[in-house]
Amino acid sequence: MDKLDDELKRAKQEPEVLILRVRKVLAIDATGLQALEDLHAKLRAKGKHLILSAPHTQPLFAMENAGLIDRIGRDNVCPNIEVALARAREILGLPMKLESSLLRSYPLRT
């Protein structure tokens, strides 16, 4: 997360919507969960949004158990980058570019 903070500082402007592609994260521990919690809280305090793209099963399960999915918002956890981009467009009030049949979220309901 330090690299992400450095990049956001270098950009000198935080985006309204930050899409975090986590497709290569195969496992997450308490430190990783806390880093995501902190990032989400920081963005939320500024009225900005966090979207997670393509989390694997273990990280998704860990985030679900920690309650992070509910805090981020189930609609903001997307199965792939295309759906994440469509969700960002929705948050920003921009027109959709994907067919509605492609806009599916993870089955997170327990």
When divided into structural domains, the chain yields a total of 1
Cα 83 to Cα 55: distance, rounded to the nearest angstrom? 13
pLDDT band at 99 (very low <50, low <70, confident <90, very high): low
Res 107: pLDDT: 55
> Is residue 36 in some structural domain?
yes
Examine residue 2 and state whether it is found in any structural domain, yes or no. no
Check which CATH number belongs to the domain holding 62 and give it.
Answer: 3.30.750.24
Q: Quote the pLDDT of residue 34.
A: 96
Domain assignment of residue 1, yes or no: no
Question: Does 80 map to a domain?
Answer: yes
Query: pLDDT, tens digit, for every residue of 34-60?
Result: 999 999 999 999 999 999 999 999 999
In a domain, 91, yes or no: yes
Q: Do 52 and 77 touch, CB atoms closer than 8 A? A: yes
Q: Could you read off the pLDDT of 69-94 as tens digits, one per residue? A: 999 999 999 999 999 999 999 999 99
Residue 51 within a domain: yes
Q: Which domain holds residue 44?
A: 16-102
Instruction: Give the pLDDT confidence score for residue 104 in this predicted structure.
Output: 53
- Is 4 a domain residue? no
Predicted confidence at residue 2, as pLDDT, reads 66
